[in-house]
Amino acid sequence: MVGVAGIVALFVVRGISSTWGGLALPNEAQDFLTLSISVIIESLPFVILGIVLSIAVQVWVPDTLFVRLLPKNRVLRRVAISLLGVLLPVCECGNVPLARGLIVKGLTVAESMTFLLAAPIVNPITIITTAQAFGWTNGILIARVAGGFLIANLIGWLFSRHANQPGLLTPRFAAECALPPSHEHGETRWGQSVELFVHEAGTILPALFLGAVAAGLVQVVVPRQVLVTLGSNPLWSILAMMVLAFIISVCSNVDAFFILPFATTFLPGSIVSFLVFGPLIDIKMLALMRTTFRVRVLVQLTIVVALASALVGLVVNFVS
């Protein structure tokens, strides 16, 4: 309810402020509202779709289906999981509830992380929009897909080294995962679906609201021009683009078009870093992932993903 109320409040204030005439909000406040609402408008359909897919996985897919279909070898299993995004084309916001559903359904936390990080990039919508924006120029498309795939599997391997997989989760979500299936007795599948939708929406929407507010606020405070002036330096351009991706929190399905105008200013590698890092780690994603993973895990995840994204960008700059 808090999340829904916050989101509705943002829309109401933005709508009313446009009719206030002389009492209109300052430009910075209007920018903040517009930017925050744009993140919500962009993300909400995918969040809802992700929750629905999560419910489908948890309630309607047989318990052992994923376990039976996926390879037994752990490396091949993670490779297969990182390609699941091709079948479940949800952007990163929708992947959080879906990844939660996969954990509930028996995947390890490391495997779920692999899906969470690969699916926003290795999915048909993202590949098509990136191809439309950049074509084969400078290998941006190839580097993005390959980079996303490799980073997801690196993270999957790294966290698979952690023997205490539930220890990576927040205590609350770990407890939910530990509940015996018997607690659902007496309910129809539709009933379970409705209950899960309310529960997941109640968990995810406040995080989305807070993430959108934070993204809007930082964009108002930090001028984009500061980032653009760094565009031509091989190292600073990559860092600038990763910071930009972190701040603006744009969805992976549309981020290629967002960044296309910057392609004439920034080095190709920095564009790739933006397109790889943004879908995996940004303000909104961290807020959403905080519903599932411990803070320490998110810090470790961010460090590795940031370094790997920068490396992918540097390699592209070197060879292109």
Nearest to other proteins of 80, 235 (CB atom): 235
307 touches other proteins by CB under 8 A: yes
Q: Which is nearest to 203 in space by CA: 312, 90, 47, 72?
A: 47
Q: Where are the alpha helices (DSSP H) in 179-267?
A: 189-221, 224-228, 236-248, 255-259
Smaller CB distance to other proteins: residue 9 or 303? Answer: 303
Contact criterion met (CB below 8 Å) for 209 and 43: no
- Rule CB under 8 A: say whether 162 interacts with other proteins: yes
Structure token pair of residue 122: 């290795």
Q: Single out the residue of 61, 80, 158, 260 in contact with other proteins (rule: CB under 8 A).
A: 158
Q: How many residues bind other proteins (CB under 8 A)?
A: 34
Q: Is 290 a residue that touches other proteins (CB under 8 A)?
A: no
| Choice between 73 and 137, CB closer to other proteins | 137
Query: What are residue 169's DSSP bridge partners?
Result: 293
Distance (Å, whole) CA 251 – CA 42? 7
Vertex 57 angle, CA 250 and 4, to 5°: 45
Which lies closer to other proteins via its Cβ, residue 64 or residue 232?
232
How many CB atoms within 10 Å of residue 7?
21
> Which range of residues in 157-165, 183-191, 204-212, 278-286 is near other proteins by CB under 8 A?
157-165
Told to check if 98 binds other proteins by CB under 8 A, we report no
| Stretch touching other proteins by CB under 8 A, among 41-49, 96-104, 111-119, 296-304 | 296-304
Cβ atoms 280, 135 nearer than 8 A: no
317 binding other proteins? (CB under 8 A): yes
Instruction: Give the residue from 255, 224, 258 showing the smallest Cα distance to 240.
Output: 224
Alpha carbon distance 14, 12 (integer Å): 5
Candidates 4, 98, 90; CA nearest to 51 is: 98
- Told to check if 295 binds other proteins by CB under 8 A, we report no
Span of 80-88, 124-132, 205-213, 259-267 interacting with other proteins by CB under 8 A: 259-267
Answer left, alpha or beta for residue 233, where phi above 0 means left and psi between -120 and 50 means alpha: beta
Task: Write the burial class of residue 8 (CB in 10 Å: 0-12 exposed, 13-18 middle, 19+ buried).
Answer: exposed
Least Å from the CB of residue 113 to other proteins = 13
Of the listed pieces 17-25, 80-88, 98-106, 302-310, which binds other proteins according to CB under 8 A? 302-310
Check residue 225 for interaction with other proteins (CB under 8 A).
no
Q: Is 188 in the site for other proteins (CB under 8 A)?
A: no
CA distance 229 to 223: 11
Distance CA 223, CA 234 (A): 21
Q: Rule CB under 8 A: say whether 302 interacts with other proteins.
A: no
The least CB distance from residue 243 to other proteins, in Å, is: 16
Residue 64 engages other proteins in binding (rule: CB under 8 A): no
Work out whether 260 is an interface residue with other proteins (CB under 8 A): no
What's the one-letter identity of residue 70?
A: L
138 binds other proteins (CB under 8 A): yes
Find the binder of other proteins among 19, 27, 164, 182 (CB under 8 A). 164
| Residue 205 beta carbon to other proteins: minimum distance, rounded to whole angstroms | 32
Which residues are at the interface with other proteins (CB under 8 A)? 137-138, 154, 158-159, 161-164, 167, 231-237, 264-265, 267-269, 300, 303-304, 307-308, 310-311, 314-315, 317-318, 320
